[in-house]
A and B are shown apart, each in its own frame.
Chain A
Amino acid sequence: MSQLSLAVELAGLGLRNPTMNAAGVLGMSSYQLKRLYESGAGAVVTKSLGRQPRNGHPNPTIVFVEGGVINSMGLPNPSAEYFRDEIKRLKAENIPVVASFFAASIEDFTYLASILTDAGADALEINCSCPNVGREKCMLEADRESLEKVTKAVREASSLPVFVKLTPNVANIVEGAKIAEENGADGITAVNTLKALAVDIDLRKPILSNIIGGLSGPALKPVALRCVWELFENIEIPIIGCGGVSYWRDAVEFLLCGASAIQIGTALMDHGVELFKEVNEGIRRYLEENGFRGVKDIVGLAHET
């Protein structure tokens, strides 16, 4: 008997399975991304790329807390220009690449979208929700007007599928998603990290050099699931679920809540890159045992009454 296929179609992209790495996780070079693909990821997501090379914040840039980690890497990246060759290397091996990027102006968003498109990326993911950099560095999606302009500009600059990654640090996530959808986004990645802080009682100081960072890992999962649920009820474009996927069951939960694909980040720390294979095998088993024919059958299934 042939194995059940996990292939999905995501905003026109054909992927062998619905898993990817979350932006910022092991996306610093084509070598690292290739390793993730070889470990079973359906597509790979680059580090968020900017116009200039950035070193990010001074260390400590990560701190471990109950249920996850808080990071304030501060968008270190070698620049989109530098990464063009890395993307070309991945494309030479037919690896599906989602290029994540951020900018400080509409002009830069347009520029970056066009060079990443030219480099051969399969899709773009707009990071307009990093909690770790000030407004001057990054347009935050809490600002409706910027989100509208950014999405529109990227849409016009590129023919690729455009995903907009949203922050959970808002009262109403649907609002931003609708703006992105109305302005031509092909998908929503939900969610980025949740603003958080850790303090040391002996030294009586915040641990992260940036003081505030973003929480990821198991503690974020219920928040992310809630966001995916609300988005599925309110928008038509596909959702990529992200936040605390550590086991195959978590991935199935995201699919049931309405995600068409999922991204994995923090859990790679404990489970290694082999996690992609485990999650995919788990999803396949679940589909087979429950009589489903493919991933699509369970997307949003928990919403049905």
Chain B
Amino acid sequence: MRREVHRVVKVEEVKQEAKDVFTLYFKDNFCSSASPGQFIMVWIPGVDEIPMSLSTINQKGVSSITVRSVGEATRILCETKVGEKIGVRGPFGNGFTLKGSKPVLVGGGTGVPALYPLASKMLISGIKPSFILGARNAEQLLFKDRLQEILDDLIISTDDGSLGFKGYASECLGRLILEKKCDSIYTCGPEQMIVSIFKEAERRNIFVQASLERYVKCAVGLCGSCGIGPFRVCKDGPVFDSISLRAVMNELGFKKMDPSGRLIPVEK
């Protein structure tokens, strides 16, 4: 069987992360061999099929997705009970590439869980990353305990200052780069955050890998629905490096394809 084929998996465990955020654990061989940063398509029969980053990869055969309830499909996923079934296909996309010896990972909101498998992989490879964990407020911080458990250098940043650094994760990053002399940046989170981080990195000449999000239909690079510039988020991404990011700066943070293929404004 190919990883592109639909499988139905049983939800083994559900963990509430925040008021409207849940992690669904399941077993799947293809997901077990995924690279950090890759995503799967999750099928909610009769409703939709949506792209989700893997938030756990093969911890004793178990993988997971972490979902915020923002629409019908995600609401139903968040209400899933242990023993219920969901459809998956994938993993798809390129994932992160390990580069640099002093990396910093910057996660914002629901972008944080996608960086957790990356941090784990770095540790296994003998790299000790710094990690900026960002959210609007302390209640919205995701994976704080899990990250604290494995990392020596976890910096918390909240927009309202309810915990840790007060301000945007991108501002926090500026300080950290100076202190730690970081040589590479990995990021996942809201698009405006990624834009700020990329600009900061460009000023300081540091290499970035950012995981981007677009509306995905086929997930295998055929239909073009997830286009950004000449690239397909599903196949050329979802992780884009500085060179590719420079090529899409006229769209990143400004415009995105809607399901019909028209470019519409990105949320500010």
Q: Which A residues have a C-beta under 8 Å from some C-beta of B?
A: 24-29, 31-32, 34-35, 47, 53-56, 58-64, 69, 71, 73, 76-79, 82, 198, 200, 202-203, 205, 207, 209, 265-266, 268-269, 272
Contact = CB atoms under 8 A, between A and B. Distances in A.
B87 A55 contact: no
B45 A205 contact: yes
Given A56-B217, A60-B49, A77 B260 contact: yes
Given A59-B217, A76-B217, A64 B89 contact: yes
B222 A53 contact: no
Contact of B5 (A24, A31, A64): A64
Contact of B261 (A71, A77, A265): A77
A56 B46 contact: no
Interface of B: 2, 4-6, 8, 41, 43, 45-50, 85, 87, 89, 217-225, 227, 229-230, 232, 257-262
28 contacts: A25-B224, A26-B222, A26-B223, A26-B224, A28-B261, A35-B230, A47-B261, A55-B258, A55-B259, A58-B47, A59-B41, A61-B49, A62-B218, A64-B4, A69-B220, A73-B218, A76-B223, A76-B225, A78-B261, A200-B6, A202-B8, A203-B8, A203-B87, A207-B6, A209-B48, A209-B49, A268-B222, A272-B221
B179 to A, nearest CB: 39
Contact of B223 (A35, A73, A78): A73
A27 B224 CA distance: 7
Given A62-B220, A202-B8, A203-B8, A31 B227 contact: yes
Given A61-B218, A79-B260, A207-B43, A32 B224 contact: yes
Contact of B259 (A25, A27, A76, A265): A76
B217 A61 contact: yes
B218 A28 contact: no
Given A56-B259, A59-B49, A82-B262, A269 B224 contact: no
B261 A34 contact: no
A22 B60 CA distance: 43
A29 B224 contact: yes
B225 A28 contact: yes
Nearest to A270: B220
A54 B223 contact: no
Nearest to A24: B223
A76 B222 contact: no
Given A64-B5, A269-B222, A31 B261 contact: no
Nearest to A22: B222
Contacts of B258: 55
Contacts of B50: 59
Given A62-B217, A268-B222, A53 B262 contact: yes
Contacts of B225: 28, 76
A268 B5 CA distance: 17
B217 A73 contact: yes
B258 to A, nearest CB: 8
8 nearest A-B residue pairs (beta carbon): A28-B224, A59-B49, A202-B8, A55-B259, A53-B260, A78-B261, A78-B262, A60-B49
Given A60-B49, A62-B218, 11 more contacts: A26-B223, A62-B220, A62-B222, A64-B5, A71-B223, A73-B223, A76-B217, A76-B223, A82-B262, A200-B8, A268-B221
Contact of A63 (B6, B46, B260): B6
B16 to A, nearest CB: 25
Contact of A28 (B6, B87, B89, B257): B257
A47 B89 CA distance: 25
Given A64-B2, A202-B8, A28 B227 contact: yes
A92 to B, nearest CB: 16
